[in-house]
Amino acid sequence: MQTKIQYNSRKLQINLAQPIDISIAIQASENNVNAWYIGAPKIEPVKDGDRVASVKSGASINFNNIYFNPHAHGTHTECAGHITEKVHSVNQSLKQFFFLAEVITVPPEFVNGDSVISKKQLQFALGNKKREAVVIRTLPNTTDKLSRQYSNTNPTYLLEEAALYLREKGVKHLLIDLPSIDKEKDEGELLAHKAFWNINGKVRMDATITEFIFVPNHVEDGEYFLNLQIAPFENDATPSKPILYKVEAL
């Protein structure tokens, strides 16, 4: 389904029949992707005495409770309220859902024993391109990212300079295949989050960070039209489903 659209001052062509889902779903399994030292998500039927709200158990419907943490258990989108004293909701902060995005692949560097993404790497990958959203795929990019247990593994993270560079370049929406853009154990400094959202200045309340994505290897680097779908939770973060569409020549 070829569709021509006008976005800002550009005319684009995308194929709505070829969506690229880069989210990781939440499932009730120990194999669910996980971080931040908590257990696996749970999806279980409501119980009322001997009655179990499951068709398999004789009920007329399936009626489940779901227990999860958006930051720990799958693809999620967060706003500045994640690190501000005043609680802000990503559901109130994100009001537009379509953006021009650039997918880039970055092989992390090693600095003082840590695997990091630097400003220089992002400059090389983005060049002079102006995008509202940047989607970062880190290497190596293996399918075990879909079930990896990240707690106490010191995953790759962004240096403060890299997050500052993205902010100064005008990137409003950062998507990455890691549990956090900051170091796992940094004594609460959260330097990359603070730099991206400009916490020490005029806070960018309309900017978001989406973590725990997965970009398959067959998806080429380049320009895409992004549909950033979120679940309507009034919380600093919510499960999300970012969808990419390749921008095609007119």
Q: What is the pLDDT of residues 15-47, one digit of tens each?
A: 999 999 999 999 999 999 999 999 999 999 999
- Give CB contacts under 8 A, 24+ apart, made by 37-40: 37/151, 37/152, 38/69, 38/72, 40/73
| Token pair recorded at residue 94 | 């994100």
Query: What span, in angstroms and rounded, lies between the C-alpha atoms of 147 and 57?
Result: 29
User: What mean pLDDT do residues 163-192 have?
Assistant: 98
Check if CATH label 3.90.25.10 holds for domain 2-25+70-248.
no
Query: What span, in angstroms and rounded, lies between the C-alpha atoms of 62 and 79?
Result: 33
Q: Render 150-174 in DSSP notation, one character per residue.
A: -TTS---EE-HHHHHHHHHTT--EE
DSSP 8-state symbol, 220: P
Query: What span, in angstroms and rounded, lies between the C-alpha atoms of 209 and 79?
Result: 7
User: What mean pLDDT do residues 35-63 have?
Assistant: 97
Q: What is the pLDDT of residues 64-99, one digit of tens each?
A: 999 999 999 999 999 999 999 998 999 999 999 999
Q: What is the pLDDT of residues 109-138, one digit of tens each?
A: 999 999 999 999 999 999 999 999 999 999
SS3 139: coil
| Token pair recorded at residue 222 | 């380049």
pTM of the model: 0.97
